[in-house]
Amino acid sequence: MGTIKDMLKKMERFQQDIENISKISIPITPDKNGMIDRQCPKSECESLFKIHKEDWLNIVRDEEVFCPFCKNNSEAKSYLTIEQNNEVIGDLKKSIKELWDYGYSTTGKNISIKPRPEFELNIKCEKCNCRYSVVGSAYFCPSCGDNNIEVNARKAIEKIISNANNIAIIQETLETSLNKDEATIITKSIVEKSISEIVGTLQNYSESIYNSLSEKNAPFNAFQNVEKSNKLWVSLLGKGYKDWLTQSEIKHLHFYTQKRHLLEHKGGIVDSKYIEKTGDNKYQVGERIIIKPSDSICLGEITIKLLNQISELKKASS
């Protein structure tokens, strides 16, 4: 049995070894496109995204990284995914035990976190050239925080339309690893979520352009409402939805923004306000709205048409 002096020496070595462990870089494996998985640390968000490994090392700053979805800014070390974080903590616990029992550790050598499959929407920031990848609509560069919505809006909606066109293939693919009921629930969720994503993209895109042209910022979430957004554009530039869309397209846009409201705030359950605002006689109060892939395609095409018109307005005004 060792003396107290021996124990103190062991504790001193152990402390030094722990300090050395804290300086070790943990390897994170990139996907086939060179992207590494990251996750927003904000509990209300926790959105997953990817950043090119070279840009993570050479462009992104250690002291501040932005979430592409909510713009939360935290230190780079906070953006490990939940799986990565659990793996690292488990590895550290094992290393500490090895150090105390045997005087050595294998820190980082046993970590093998497989990257998620490649995300399809790849973005390069026009301001700092950081390359990142997301699922759905992203608004901010993770490196510099620049709002890239004007560049990425069309890409995001085009991807949503593509998914809607291929929803049957997506379900068949899911059924290879899940049962049919589970696959159906997921594909239904994808279609319903697409309505909110498209309206959200239109809101953020319109707000970004409007605020860049107007001396006064637009009211909060005004572009989720067809009547309010039309009045804002007409008062600012003399043109609005009636100049850019057909009456049928305006009617559909109004319906979809109201359906988005039901999905977001009422669980999709029809209330009297929905029927009053839309005149939609296909539903009764208490029923749940049905969203089909064709709805996503219709709303997506109308929104892209609007984005193009709004973009031309900005060019004409600059």
pLDDT tens sequence across 93-138: 776 666 666 665 555 555 567 788 888 788 899 899 999 999 877 7
pLDDT number for residue 302: 97
- In whole numbers, what is the pLDDT of the chain averaged over residues? 86
Residue 2 binned pLDDT confidence (cut-offs 50, 70, 90): low
**Burial status of residue 220 (CB atoms within 10 A of its CB: 0-12, 13-18, 19 or more):** exposed
Q: Of all residues in the chain, what percent carry a pLDDT higher than 70? A: 84
SS3 track for 94-115 = HHHHHHHHHCCCCCCCCCCCCC
Cα angle value 125/131/133 (rounded, 5°):
105
Give how far the C-alpha of residue 136 lies from the chain's centroid of Cα atoms, to the nearest Å. Answer: 6
pLDDT number for residue 57: 93
The residue count of the chain comes to: 318
pLDDT at 3 > cutoff 60: yes
> Can you tell me the distance from the alpha carbon of 109 to that of 247, in angstroms, rounded to the nearest whole number?
63
Asked whether 202 and 249 are in contact (CB, 8 A), the reply is no
pLDDT number for residue 61: 95
More confident residue, 154 or 102: 154
pLDDT number for residue 20: 57
pLDDT digits (tens, 9 = 90+) for 213-264: 999 999 999 999 999 999 999 999 889 999 999 999 999 999 999 999 999 9
| pTM of the complete model beyond 0.75 | no
pLDDT number for residue 155: 85
> Can you tell me the distance from the alpha carbon of 14 to that of 96, in angstroms, rounded to the nearest whole number?
9
Lowest average pLDDT, out of 27-36, 46-55, 300-309, goes to 27-36
Average pLDDT of the residues in 168-191? 92
